[in-house]
Amino acid sequence: MKSEDKDKGLLRDFVSRNDNENGVNPLPLAGERLAKQEDEGGSSEPSGSKDKPEEGAAKRRVRGCLFSAFILFAADQLSKYIIDSFVSYGASIKIIPVYGFFNITNVHNTGAAFSIFQGNNFAFAVLITVILSVIAVWFYFNANKITVLQKYAFCLVFAGGLGNLTDRIFRGAVVDFLDFGINSLRWPAFNVADSCVCAAAALIAIDVFKSNAKS
């Protein structure tokens, strides 16, 4: 870039000296010659250079949310390994005993969310694999077209789905261990992967709300 500007400066000086010697006003001719040179050589500014900072920022955000997804997936698998290693199947450990509000338990789910459709582990493993594949392909081709909240929502869905899919493939069932409720009124036990999916749903809802508010 600097060398090209230097060349143009030398050309101006050369044209100015020659035209002054011939008694011609150098400015219009110099301008015409420089314009012709630029037309022949094309613009010195690379096309799309203004878009590069924005594209770089988008790529960094994608890498950031993918890294977050990996951390959450690792946390999900580590927590399930610890539960399977130190808490007997079906056992319950009181963490906040007041009204039995929060317990750590160890239950296995071969069905869908909230333990419905039990005994269909293989079918749900295939279904989750298909859904995650579609999400991954869609995200790859649309990562630069969606909002930041949507990026993190899709990464949370991917982390949660992959966490529970890993359970179904290698454990034969999803390990649930977070048990909340008040005495006999219990919320179905869940895990870190389930929390990721719920957080993703919350992010998408916030994004939709923000979009509607702007419009």
pLDDT of residue 7: 55
47 is written with which tokens? 């096309």
Q: Are 106 and 175 in contact (CB under 8 A)?
A: yes
Q: Clarify whether 19 is annotated catalytic.
A: no
Residue 110 CA to residue 124 CA, distance in Å, equals 8
How much of the chain exceeds pLDDT 70, in percent? 73
CA quadruple 151, 156, 159, 164: dihedral positive or negative?
negative
Q: Phi and psi of 93, rounded to 5°?
A: -115, 125
Q: Which of 44-48, 85-89, 128-132 has the lowest mean pLDDT?
A: 44-48
Q: For residue 45, name the pLDDT band (cuts at 50, 70, 90).
A: very low
For the segment 65-70, the average pLDDT, to the nearest whole number, is: 88
Q: Cα separations (Å) of 34 from 10, 44, 153, 192?
A: 11, 13, 52, 65
More confident site: 58 or 95: 95
* pLDDT of 78 over the 90 cut: yes
pLDDT of residue 188: 92
| Annotated catalytic residue, options 7, 176, 179, 207 | 176
E strands in the chain: 92-96, 102-109, 174-182, 185-186
- Known catalytic residue: 39? no
